[in-house]
Amino acid sequence: MKFTKMQGIGNDYVYVNCFEETIADPSAVARFVSDRHFGIGSDGLILVKPSDVADCEMDMYNLDGSQGAMCGNGIRCVAKFAYDHGIVHKKNITVNTKSGIKYLDLDIKDGKVSSVKVNMGSPILTAKMIPVVSDKEQVINQPLDVNGTIWNITAVSMGNPHAVTYMEDVNSLDIEKVGPMFENHINFPDRINTEFVKVIDRRTLQMRVWERGSGETLACGTGACAVAVASTLNGLVDEDVPITVKLLGGDLQILWNRQENLVYMTGPATTVFEGEIDLSSI
């Protein structure tokens, strides 16, 4: 299988051109290629596929083989991949995903895609749509007992589910212990991506993320969007201005246009290397 290793501020995936290849069992391939010792090493697998409704389709799998409905860092790299592989020849492209068609603008410098602006769509706040179990219509700054510790969470879906919580010092968080407790909490029927956030100022947030199906990653694009939305709803950041979200792997600019009710994410997309891997051992 030919592949391209790419990363969006350190959130790295193995990309496959499915205009040219067919992957019979993507979940098994995701688990194999993601292994940093026996495979390539990545946060998961992303297939770039033909589409009848968009320029291409993103089919995304986490490290554990579970399929994700949306991937913010991944879709920026899909846009770069599509341009660099001649699948598209324009700056404004569409990518179909399991959470609908997304619209992207490529910033091209010296013939190369340097950064991408993504219309991530509207945030979903209705508890049962996220889904999160609650007696409330929306979960905004609500207490949640996580193995005996009470965390105040705000639940947001960007096509995939997120729980956002705030703390004074995210650097000292034992995320390997706490992350799985959130991910597998009974109140999240489809599991959950969890963002731990420190407010730097009214236009700057710092976050770490424990991703559903991948564990701690250096960045999460949908998570950064969920964090900007949750922080706005909680009155912690200014409205209708770009918010800088600082992640372990780098920064993203997030704007929630309240009038449109659309979230825009802008950030880099980087190719690391190309290669070929033998899948016969799977």
- Active-site residue list: 71, 220
Which of 26, 123, 179, 221 contacts ligand API by CB under 6 A?
221
Residues 6+ away with beta carbon under 8 Å from 227: 162, 164, 195, 197, 205, 207, 245, 254
Q: What is the DSSP string of 198-261?
A: EEEETTEEEEEEEETTTEEES--HHHHHHHHHHHHHTT-S-SSS-EEEEETTEEEEEEEETTTT
Which among 49-57, 135-143, 169-177, 212-220 is the span making contact with ligand API, rule CB under 6 A? Answer: 212-220
Taking CA atoms, 91 is separated from 17, 59, 88, 257, 269, in Å, by: 19, 21, 8, 22, 14
Stretch in the footprint of ligand API (CB under 6 A) among 71-79, 88-96, 113-121, 134-142:
71-79
Q: Is 203 annotated as a binding residue?
A: no
Q: Is 249 in the site for ligand API (CB under 6 A)?
A: no
Please give the C-alpha separations between residue 83 and each of 59, 166, 270, in angstroms, as whole numbers. Answer: 17, 38, 12
Window of 27-35, 48-56, 87-95, 207-215 that interacts with ligand API by CB under 6 A:
207-215
96 is in an annotated binding site: no
| Helix, coil or strand: residue 129 | helix
Is 71 a binding residue for ligand API by CB under 6 A? The answer is yes
**Packing angle, helices 72-84 and 221-233, rounded to 10:** 140
The answer to whether 72 is a known ligand-binding residue is: yes
CB of 101 to ligand API, least distance (A): 17
Q: Is 220 in the site for ligand API (CB under 6 A)?
A: yes
Is position 211 annotated in a ligand binding site? yes
Q: Does 99 bind ligand API (CB under 6 A)?
A: no
Binding track, positions 131-170, relative to ligand API; x by CB under 6 A: -----------------------------x----------
For residues 190 and 161, give the distance between their C-alpha atoms in angstroms, rounded to a whole number.
Answer: 8
Which of 98, 145 has the CB closer to ligand API?
98
Give me the phi and psi of 105, to 5 degrees please.
-115, 120
Which amino acid appears at position 205 of this protein?
L
**Which run of H or E residues covers position 109?**
strand 100-109
Interface with ligand API, residue 115, by CB under 6 A? no
> 277: which DSSP letter?
-
Which of residues 36 and 89 has its CB atom nearest to ligand API in the complex?
A: 36
Choose, by CB under 6 A, the member of 115, 157, 187, 193 that binds ligand API: 193
Does the annotation place 194 within a ligand binding site? no
What residue ranges bind ligand API (CB under 6 A)? 11, 62, 68, 71-74, 160, 193, 211-214, 217, 220-223
Binding-site annotation, residues for substrate:
11, 62, 72-73, 160, 193, 211-212, 221-222
